[in-house]
Structure 1
Amino acid sequence: MKVFSSDCTFNYSWDEVSTANWRKYCPWNDKSTHVKAVDTLSRTIEPSTGILRTERLITCYQSAPKWVLSLFGGSPLSYVYEVSYVDPVTKKVTMCSTNLTWANVLNVRETVTYQPSRLTPDNQTEFQQEATITALCTGWQKIKNKVEEASVERFRENAKRGREGFEAVLEMSRRVFGEQKELEKMQSS
């Protein structure tokens, strides 16, 4: 098992980040063109806590080499199951995901959190990401280690692109909603 972890601070409020999170895979995010579809399977609010729980199925095109696809009988599509929790009281978004495709060969479990910065809670949001990657091939430990190391490196590259794309979504959201607030302000005057 190998672990990937990353953190950063977005210069946006938690309200902006938690709202834009639902548009992370929008068509104008040029860093998420591999995402074919995002289907919401269920969405509920826990009455006693106000926590929004959402289950989604994310369908992606994978860029695995054709020989790998033919070796494992794979398709160019892969599926990820995600469960997220938005807690409006503690202002924390937690997203847990796992791969469904090739789960018998490689297991990837990711947890992402967004919460207000401890230093500037109104203006910045802390992002934390951790993924455990486990190759399930039996036998040679060297091969298993190589598969896990290559998977962590690929995850690192994808995570970087994902953060860059989310920054673009945040900027676009701020621009659009800033203009909307200005229009509302002008109309109420």
Structure 2
Amino acid sequence: MEHAEGESGESIVRALVDSHRHFLAFLERRVGSRAVAEELLQAAFVRTLEKGDALRDEERAVAWFYRLLRNALVDHYRKQAAEARVLERESLEATEVGPDPELKQTVCACVGELLPTLKPEYSELLRQVELEERSVPEAAAAVGITPNNAGVRLHRARQALKQQLERSCGSCATHGCLDCSCQRRREPGLPA
């Protein structure tokens, strides 16, 4: 009897593997990305291996697997919606709290002069987020990139600006650049 069940399990696995192309196409049409579809499909196959002992019939196994894929899609879209809500909440919190006006007045004037020395995509994002106080998702939409990409780019832009400030202003930039009274050191490639 065990031999018959083993053969049945193998035929079910074979039926699922043979339908791989159809499963992938089913997912890809719904998520719009082959990479995401492959990731979801792989996770579903893993889950099938964990729960597959209950499957006895090839046709039912394929139908069950499609239900599993539909559930995976629902979970995928729920996760995306939750991530979007978190980004939106963080964006709203950042605009509600806002920067301290007194602090903003004391920020080194060198920043505005150094922005043009950065890559254009860095200076544009810094200008929008830091000087115009736009949210990261709003600035991302304005420059035509995703909020995640904008977050990474903003981090790199801040690092590049910090390096320029340290080269230009020396120790006052290293220690926070508040109440800046530095005489900008002249270096090749930096505006006077």
Structure number with the bigger relative contact order (C-alpha 8 A, sep ≥ 6) is 1
Q: Larger Rg: 1 or 2?
A: 2
TM-score > 0.5 by shorter chain: no
Q: TM-score, normalised by structure 1?
A: 0.29
Q: TM-score, normalised by structure 2?
A: 0.28
